[in-house]
Chains A and B, each alone.
Chain A
Amino acid sequence: MRVILTLFLAFTFSHVHSQCWASDLKQELKTNKDLSDAIKNDKDKSLVDSWKALYEAGEDNLTERLGDIKLVDDHLTRNPEKSAFEVTQEIQDAPGGFGNWKNYDLEYTYREVEIVDAGGNPLGEFDGIDTDRKAFIEDKSALGLNNINPNTGQPYQTPAQWSKKQIHDKTVVRIENLNNNAAQTRSTSGGSSTVPDLNEIKDFKTLHFRINSDDPALISSVQQELANLKMEYPDWDFTVQFGQN
């Protein structure tokens, strides 16, 4: 009797729950033109599943989050063995969640590409370049953020100071150098033996940081600096992932 009751309750709940998300999706498609257009234009993809997974995972404001729905969909496409709900949880559980997931899957077509001026003087360096996705990759270690200055006995910097220097200031210099002063590329001692021509990468407008820390204060200050960079360079796309390098 207990088994029958349990089965009945489970069926009733799932039926009602399923009706609930289906009804909400229907409503969503009426009001969310971007989502309905995306589904129309990507009929072979699983945007509905992705929307449903986000809904079931308790994510809210889905009307505003077509980008996140597409992130789930992209991740699902690359990992067909997983369910939409699994990939949604994977993104949710990553440090920084959805806000820091974009571009996590860039690949190193080249490692350590140096840019130099007409005189051969070094101007900057990119830890990685994904030529297919037209993106620069920057690896950064933040694990020693609490290192002590041997002379003063004090920590070198706060997360906010670190982010200002490492994320904002250095990026500004390198973008300016890339745009205005770079004459050619060069390989480094530890990087790829061949590197792309400057003309191949000069118009890339995506810069993705990989920071091997998931300290909440650091995540917050890095996000702030990325927002500042975006205001200064609106045609660039700045993204980050934490806890992996």
Chain B
Amino acid sequence: MSVALLIEKIDGTVTRDYLPISGELSFKTEWLPVCRLLHLKWIPLFQTGGTFDENDIPFILEELVLLRDHFASLEKEKIKTRLSYLIKKLESLKGKSTVFFIG
């Protein structure tokens, strides 16, 4: 089902904030090879999907920035833009109690 961010709770309030991240095919053929190249361990989990919370955000953000910079260097603008949306969204959750699903 393509890969997307689904924010379920922010500071105890239930939400359904949704952000598409990548199609399944692009994730498999474009994202994952770069993740392997950069030895990333969090982002590959998005393919199957998982539930995360505020404690995971710094680790995920660190990898997302590496990935975004890599795709920027390859002039992959569409993927870079998707990553920028996701980084911005996760940064907005910093300091909050949150539960979100990425997958």
With contact pairs A122-B82, A125-B4, A140-B1 given, residues A191 and B51 touching in the complex (Cβ less than 8 Å): no
Cβ-neighbour of B4 out of A124, A141, A161, A188 (below 8 A): A124
CA–CA, A165 and B41, complex, Å: 22
Question: Which DSSP category, helix, strand, loop or mixed, fits chain B's interface?
Answer: mixed
Q: Tell me, yes or no, whether B96 is within 8 Å of chain A by CB.
A: no
Q: Tell me, yes or no, whether B37 is within 8 Å of chain A by CB.
A: no
Chain B residues with a Cβ closer than 8 Å to the other chain, count: 35
Docked-complex contact A171 and B1, CB < 8 angstroms: yes
Query: Number of A-B pairs whose CB atoms are under 8 Å?
Result: 112
Q: Which of A33-41, A46-54, A78-86, A149-157 contacts B (4 or more CB under 8 A)?
A: A149-157
Question: Which DSSP category, helix, strand, loop or mixed, fits chain A's interface?
Answer: mixed
Cβ-neighbour of A147 out of B25, B29, B50, B101 (below 8 A): B50
Q: Tell me, yes or no, whether B39 is within 8 Å of chain A by CB.
A: no
Cβ-neighbour of A166 out of B1, B29, B56 (below 8 A): B1
- Closest approach, in angstroms, between the C-beta of A99 and any C-beta of chain B? 20
Docked-complex contact A122 and B25, CB < 8 angstroms: no
- Closest approach, in angstroms, between the C-beta of A238 and any C-beta of chain B? 12
Q: Tell me, yes or no, whether B26 is within 8 Å of chain A by CB.
A: yes
Cβ-neighbour of A127 out of B2, B47, B55, B101 (below 8 A): B2
